[in-house]
Amino acid sequence: MNELFCDGGVVKVNPSPVGGTWAYRVLADGIVQCEQSGITTPGMAQMLTISNNLTEMLAVVRGLQSLPIDWQGTIYSDSQITLGRIFLGWKWHNIPAWLALEFRNERARLVNFSQIQHVLLDGHPTKAQLAAGLGHGGHPVNINNVWCDSACGKAALSFTA
């Protein structure tokens, strides 16, 4: 079973004039294969501010870029908007053209993209919710999404230190 967990965040406020964070973690049969996190600034994103929706999409795109061409699996995100844009044809409002292009390039590169599944997670679960496997909204929760959220927080701290 192949899984890609993704999360994004902002530094201080949403939208942020400071920057945003993103993280992803790739697993194969429950074993971490790779993980990465980073920062984007308004200058890097060619935007005046960074929104949470932008960083959530950036996390997915960076995760997709780390995958082999024949990857098959499931993408997990706590962003309904991001999953809706990718899998349900929702509009890409306020996502810069360069990021939309990077996504389209990854969609074309991954030969099995049409077979990739997606799961909406509840974010920021408590320990009890993690133990139960369900969050406050009734969606699944997962420790790997918690890792992504924590990695975003650490990236923000190191950026603002």
Q: What is the pLDDT of residues 6-53, one digit of tens each?
A: 999 999 999 999 999 999 999 999 999 999 999 999 999 999 999 999
Return the closest-CA partner of residue 25 out of 50, 72, 58, 60: 60
pTM: 0.97
pLDDT tens figures, 115-154: 999 999 999 999 999 999 999 999 999 999 999 999 999 9
Whether pLDDT at 161 is above 90: no
- b/e sequence 17-45, b meaning 16+ C-beta within 10 Å: ebbbbbbbbbbeeeeeeebbbbbbebeeb
Return the closest-CA partner of residue 43 out of 110, 96, 4, 119: 96
In this prediction, residue 74 carries a pLDDT of: 98
Q: Which domains does the chain have, with CATH numbers?
A: 2-160 (3.30.420.10)
Whether pLDDT at 58 is above 90: yes
**Interval 88-95 mean pLDDT:** 96
